[in-house]
Amino acid sequence: MAEVSRGFAGRRRQPGKGLIPPGQYVTEDFPVLSAGPTPRTPLDRWDLTVSGEIDEARRWTWDEFRALPRESVEVDIHCVTKWSKLGTHWEGVSVDTLLDGVETAADHILAIADYGYTTNMPLEDVTNGRAWIVDTFDGEPLEPEHGGPARLLVPHLYFWKSAKWVRELTLLSYDEPGFWESLGYHNYGDPWREQRYSGD
Partner 1 sequence: MWQRARVLAVRDETPGIRTLTVDVAGWVGHRPGQHVDVRLTAADGYQAQRSYSIASAPEAGRLELAVERLDDGEVSWWLASEARDGDAFELRGPIGGYFVWDVTMAGPVQLVAGGSGVAPLLSMVRHRVAARGDQAMRLLYSARSLNDVVAHDELVDLAARDSGFELVCTLTREQPPGWSGYARRVDAALLAEALWGPETEAGTYVCGPTRFVESVASALIDLGYRANSIKTERFGPTGTP
Whether the link from the prior residue into 21 is cis, omega within 30° of 0, is no
- Of 15, 129, 141, 184, the one binding partner 1 by CB under 8 A: 184
Which residue, among 69, 154, 80, 165, has the nearest Cα to 117 in the 3D structure? Answer: 165
Opening angle at CA 124, ends 74 and 101, nearest 5: 95
CB of 100 to partner 1, least distance (A): 33
What part of residues 65-84 is at the interface with partner 1 (CB under 8 A)?
A: 79, 81-83
Using the contact rule CB under 8 A, the part of the chain among 6-14, 93-101, 125-133, 161-169 near partner 1 is 6-14
How many residues of this chain interact with partner 1, rule: CB under 8 A? 40
d(CA 171, CA 104): 8
Task: Answer yes or no whether residue 27 interacts with partner 1 by CB under 8 A.
Answer: yes
Of 12-20, 63-71, 91-99, 101-109: span binding partner 1 (CB under 8 A): 12-20
CB of 152 to partner 1, least distance (A): 19
The CA-based dihedral angle spanning residues 37, 154, 198, 108, taken in that order and rounded to the nearest 10 degrees:
-100
Quote helix, strand, coil % in the chain, to nearest 5.
15, 30, 50
Amino acid occupying residue 117: Y
Q: Is 33 in the site for partner 1 (CB under 8 A)?
A: yes
Binding residues vs partner 1 (CB under 8 A): 2-14, 23, 25, 27, 29, 31-40, 79, 81-83, 115-116, 145, 179-180, 182-184, 197
